[in-house]
A and B are shown apart, each in its own frame.
Chain A
Amino acid sequence: MNAIWLVRSRELASRFRFWTAIVGYDPRDHSVSHRLYLVYLIIFFNLWGFSVLALLSGVGIWVLSFFKGLAPAMATVVILAAGLLLDAILRGYKASRRSPFIFSEEDAGLICQTPVDRRLVALTWLLGDWLPACLPFVVIGVILCFSTLQLAEQGPFLWTYLPRYWLAAFRVTSIIIPLHLAFMAGDFTLGSLRLRGERDMPALVWFPIGFAMIVLSLAFTNQGYLNIILWPVIKPLELGLGTENWLLGFVLAVFLTLVGLLALYFASPRLNLSRAAQESYSRWASQQAGLLGDTRLVQRMKIRERLGVQHPPSRVPGRTGAWSLVWKDSVISLRAINFGHVATWLVIFGISLGMVVAPDWGTKLWAFFFWCWLIGRRCTDRLRSDLDLWTISRQLPFSGRATIAAELAVPILWTMLLTWLAIGVGIGLGFSSQAYFLLLAPVAIMSIGLAASYDILRKCYSSELLAGQVAEPGAGGLVLGGLLAVIPMLIVNGVTYQLHLPAINLVIALFGFALGMGVSYLMWKLTASAYRGIK
């Protein structure tokens, strides 16, 4: 066996074993019982996969309903072509900035320093990465294909349709797989061109950007030209989803794949593997941490990568004492802000709005539950980050109460503002009956944040914190926070409902607010005491 393929196949086998271990199958065990178990697994996952995809075809029908004026099969072609193109452009953009070839630490020593055939390395690495990347498109393609069939049948799913479904799934899969490989080969070619020798080629980044701009501009100005440009993608998909000429579509897709692979073959003889290894090490390490489930490490690695090497001093004005924690958190937040952070705040806003406008108490309760969970996590992010740096945070000369207040003040304030905004929007939409929630929301948020913090702190041990192991917010904190937040709301809601005296509603709401403040104060003391008393 070729040395490069030997190394790569071992790596892929090890990755594969990670997944088989989850279902209790060990490929190295050759006993009869284990082989029978493998047969059972294959049958089970085939049936399970088919059932899940068939069930999800309902979602597919809902998605296809947005494409009014287009036949379901054509809408499926549009979705798949757009998805494949978007994926290719994004991958191409990344490949023109950083190596698409991801080498492990061992690869860097075993392969990258030796005079192996670069073309073989490029092709082997492409094939190793391609199948997992292709899987989501296959799944989406099959779901949409099932949806198209269901729309055509206009009736309940019958087992007699099964061969037709399988055949349709096979047809669409056989087109998507080579098409995706063709695109990935194109992206890897771009990466190979950039990694030729020691020279960097920053201009390559304009290939994917330029292509995206051309496609976008044609989509709005001249659809005829767009169809011509995208014909090699759209035609095979059309044929794959139609009833005739599947073979022609397949041949077209395979031809595109061959073109892509040939391009990679001719672009990679001077591929600089050392550069590729240097550029991809952090991505490899991040992948490994992700496989081990260490999300914090993955997050830290991503932040490191984004921050770069240096930064001029922050201009955020600082104040002495416990306010320094607020200064530090402000600088960190401004510097580390990303789409994920913004999305979490938007979700908090959305759920707050959902609680106000939800039509029934069941939905409100679910929204409230999710709201508590999100707030608990968001409000304790900074506290957990400081606990992670125990050698610094424990030395700071602040009392437990000041520390807890400073750690939670900013996230609680943000959550409060977003919740108020959501309630305001809800009231604006005509849901005025929940106006008292404006007064109770802040105390509810404080209770939830403090309860989540208390839950984390009671599970922390100084010996573990020294090793950088911080407890996660758990179910205990969620339940406690939810209860503390809901009690004042239930009292206010119950009393106003029973009395039917709108004139004193404000007084009752103020009573609920005072009660919530009292509960939050006690929770603050308890949390501060838990912080001081970490064993």
Chain B
Amino acid sequence: MIAHPLLQTIGLSRSFGEFQAVRPLDIQIFPGEMIILTGPNGAGKTTLLCCLSGLLRPTKGNVLVDGHDLYQNEVAAKQRLAFVPDVPRFYLELTTWEHMRFISLAFGVEQGWKGRAESGLREFGLWENRDMYPHNLSRGMRLKLGILLALIRPFKVLILDEPTSALDPESVIVLLEKLTTLRENGCAVLLSSHDLSVMESLNGKRWRMERGEVITE
């Protein structure tokens, strides 16, 4: 039986006025695949990841998540997709713990969310800061919270934009282990990174992006 792609783009492109940030792109990512997107600054990596996660509307083309169109069948597509931006932003008035609660509720995770939230916070060293407002956390801690908000919900495709850029070495190890486990469990993972050690540790496929074009292996 041939597996169908968990993430697929059909003629996806994104322009800002005259400038084409992402050139027409057809890609497929299958279950258990780990893709590491590399490339120089300004190549269009973040723009592409934002388009794939639905945060940025493509100028042309479609994104399919597990066969569901991200813009036509958005609820089904979003239930299968998680995205971690490079600089996550949070509600001023909700604490770290309440953010976990909110995302759990939003994605219908009522059973066992507390245990998952606690173990995640402990693994990333945020348990002591669970009652703190995110604006009082350091940059690295906010990135960890962003990662945890993605991991606490169910998904089949995980997209991360430079997830290790502000993390301490212990947390990088925890994250890499989690990504490897997710991959083994059949999730598709796409992340951008400049970190060579991350690329080597993850042993995934490398895609290079240059001037809006993706060069696959």
* Interface residue ranges, A against B (CB under 8 Å): 300, 303-304, 307-314, 318-321, 323-325, 327-328, 331-332, 335-336, 385, 389-392, 394-400, 462-463, 466, 468, 532, 534-535
A318/B105 contact (C-beta < 8 A), A312-B131, A389-B91, A395-B83 known = yes
Of A300, A335, A400, A463, which contacts B56 at CB under 8 A? A463
A532 to B71, CA, bound (A): 8
Complex A-B, nearest 8 residue pairs according to Cβ-Cβ distance, in ascending order: A324-B105, A397-B78, A324-B106, A310-B131, A332-B93, A397-B79, A310-B132, A320-B108
A535 to B131, CA, bound (A): 36
Contact assessment for B98 and A395 in the assembled complex, using a CB-CB cutoff below 8 Å = no
Contact assessment for A391 and B105 in the assembled complex, using a CB-CB cutoff below 8 Å = no
Give A54 Cβ to nearest chain B Cβ, in Å: 46
Render B121-156 as a binary contact track against A, CB cut-off 8 A, 1 for contact.
000000000011101100000000000010000000
- Mind listing 7 A-B residue pairs with CB under 8 Å? A309-B136, A327-B105, A391-B85, A395-B81, A397-B74, A466-B55, A532-B74
Contact assessment for B89 and A468 in the assembled complex, using a CB-CB cutoff below 8 Å = yes
Contact assessment for A321 and B108 in the assembled complex, using a CB-CB cutoff below 8 Å = yes
Which interface residue of B50, B75, B89, B93 has the most chain A CB atoms within 10 A?
B93
Give A458 Cβ to nearest chain B Cβ, in Å: 14
Contacts of B50-96 to chain A: CB distance below 8 A: 50, 53-57, 71, 74-75, 78-79, 81-83, 85, 88-95
Contact assessment for B133 and A311 in the assembled complex, using a CB-CB cutoff below 8 Å = yes
A327 to B131, CA, bound (A): 18
Give A501 Cβ to nearest chain B Cβ, in Å: 49
Contact assessment for A331 and B110 in the assembled complex, using a CB-CB cutoff below 8 Å = no
Contact assessment for A309 and B133 in the assembled complex, using a CB-CB cutoff below 8 Å = yes
Tell me the nearest residue of chain B to A396, going by C-beta.
Answer: B106
Tell me the nearest residue of chain B to A303, going by C-beta.
Answer: B92
Tell me the nearest residue of chain A to B50, going by C-beta.
Answer: A466
Contact assessment for A335 and B93 in the assembled complex, using a CB-CB cutoff below 8 Å = yes
A91 to B65, CA, bound (A): 58
Contact assessment for A314 and B105 in the assembled complex, using a CB-CB cutoff below 8 Å = no
Residues of A within 8 A of B93 (CB): 303, 307, 331-332, 335-336
- Is B101 an interface residue, CB under 8 A from the partner? yes
Contact assessment for A331 and B98 in the assembled complex, using a CB-CB cutoff below 8 Å = yes
A534 to B70, CA, bound (A): 13
Of A311, A327, A335, A336, which contacts B102 at CB under 8 A? A327
A373 to B101, CA, bound (A): 34
Residues of A within 8 A of B71 (CB): 532
